Structures are given as structure tokens and as C-alpha cells.
Amino acid sequence: MDKIKLGRVLGVDFGTKRIGLAICDENREMAFPLQVVKNDKNSISIISKIIKDKGVSFVVIGESKDFKMKDNPIMDMIRVFENLLASESGVEIDYEPEFLTSHQAHHIQGKTNMLDASAATIILQSYLDRIKSQN
């Protein structure tokens, strides 16, 4: 896991209304749902505080692509979010391809208020597994 520095990793499922957050254990092996934040003018500062409070050193955001592997329209908003979060929090940010993670989370647990956090967990776990397999 060369890319991931010491500290926890935060997974993000960005949505226009809600932002799902997940965090990994200290050994960076398992991802867990953390919380859902309303996507509004306060979301960057809320997430930056979580990053500081939880000892997060790295963030992974779900990269939204269509069936042809082209950027979905939401990617423009995700890039703006990424730049603002990196600027405010000071942590490195990377992307993990995500495809229907909200649908997958819904299939596993049903519709709950933590659905977006569960989708973030899938994104983060995928990233952790991929990085681990590369080493």
C-alpha cells in the first residue's frame, strides 16, 4: 500500500443530495460505513473535520463512469468537490472506479438512511483490496 500513508482512509460516495462516507480500520483491511452528510455549502468543512478527528490521511472518491467507461455528468461536480476538499483538508485524494454501488448497497441492505455510507464502504473496500493485491 505504497500510495496510502499511515492513518485511516476515508471512502466517499458523492451524490448531488447526499455524500456517503466510510472509513477503514487502522490496519487498512476492512471498510465500515461511517455517516451520510447532506451535500450543501457546509459539507466540505464537515468532512474536513471528520478527516482531522478520525486521523484520516488519504481519501478515495468513487469515480462515476457510464457503460462505455466515459465520465458521467456528475464527474464535473466530483472534481470540484475533490479540489475543495483537498485544499481544505490537506490530504491526498484518489479515485476508485465505482459502478452501481448505491444499487449494490440497496440490494444488500435495503433502503436505509445509511445507504450512501454503505455505497462508500463498497468503494473503499474495493480500493483497499486492489491496492493490497498490487503489493
pLDDT, tens digit, 9 for 90 and up, residues 15-30 = 999 999 999 998 888 9
Confidence class for position 68, pLDDT limits 50, 70, 90: confident
Query: Does 2 have pLDDT greater than 50?
Result: no
In this prediction, what percent of the chain has a pLDDT beyond 70?
83
Burial 59-86 (b: 16+ CB within 10 A, else e): bbbbbbeeeeeeeeeebeebeebbeebe
In the chain, how many domains are there?
1
Residue 2 lies in a domain: no
For residues 124 and 40, what is the distance between their CA atoms, to the nearest angstrom? 23
Residue 69 lies in a domain: yes
The range of the structural domain enclosing residue 122 comes to: 8-134
Q: Within a domain: residue 19? A: yes
Quote the cell numbers at residue 51.
478527516
What is the predicted pLDDT for the residue at 112? 59
Residue 61 in domain: yes
pLDDT (0 to 100) of residue 10: 98
Q: Is the pLDDT of residue 110 over 80?
A: no
Number of alpha helices (DSSP H) and beta strands (DSSP E) in the chain: 4, 5
Does residue 1 lie in a domain region? no
In a domain, 44, yes or no: yes
pLDDT the model gives residue 7: 78
Alpha-carbon dihedral angle through residues 117, 79, 98, 18, given to the nearest 10 degrees: 30
